[in-house]
Structure 1
Amino acid sequence: MTRLGHRIAASTVWEILNAAGIDPVPRRSGPTWHEFLTAQAEGIVAADFFPIDTALGRRLYALVFLEHGTRRLHITGVTVCPTHDWAVRQRDYNLNDSDRLGP
C-alpha cells in the first residue's frame, strides 16, 4: 500500500501483525545486550581519572581501573598533572604485570 502512495499508521501495522500472531519486533538471533555484557564482564576493564582534593587545597588525580567481572577497583597512580604519556605508562605497567589487573 505504501508503494502505491497510501499512508499507513503504525497502529494499523500493529493490528495486522497482532492478528497474524506476529510480534511487532521479533526476537533477533543472538544474545540480548544484558546477556552479552554478562558473558563478557570478565574481560571488561573501565578506566577513569578520579579527582582528589587535599587538605591544603591542591587537586590530585588518581588513575583508576574497574574490573567489571570482579568489581575490583585498582588505583594505579596519583599525579598533579595527568598527561597522556603518564597515563599510558600506568596502564602498561599495571596491565603487563600478572599480579595486577586481570586474571
Structure 2
Amino acid sequence: MSEELVKAFVTKADGKSVRVKLVDGSFQDALVNLGFAFDSDLLEYTIPVAGNQEKAEIFDKLRIQDVSFSGGKEWCPAEVFEYLRETGLINGSFKKISWRGPGEYQLTVE
C-alpha cells in the first residue's frame, strides 16, 4: 500500500454516469453532498451526468476534494479527465491511482 492514503477514487466515467469507490468512510457525506447515491449492486457511489460539461464539473469538484482517478485501459477515468482537460472543459492537475497488486497502489499527479 502507498504511504499516502486514498479516501475515494473514480472507477468509471466513460458513460452517462460517474462511479466512485469509497475507501475512507468519513468521506461519505462529502460524496452525498455532491449528489452521489450509493448503488448497493455495484458497492459504489454513482451520479448521472448529461454530458461532458456536467462530467467536467463533477470531476473538478472531486479533484478539489482530493479524490483520485483510476488509471488503466482505454477510457479509464484518468484518460477521461485528460480528454476533458484537452478540450478545455476542466483545468488543473489530478491524482491518478494505479495498482501494482492487491492493496498496492501508486499515486501520481498528472
Higher RCO (C-alpha 8 Å, min separation 6): 2
TM-score by length of 1: 0.30
Which has more helix, going by share of residues? Answer: 1
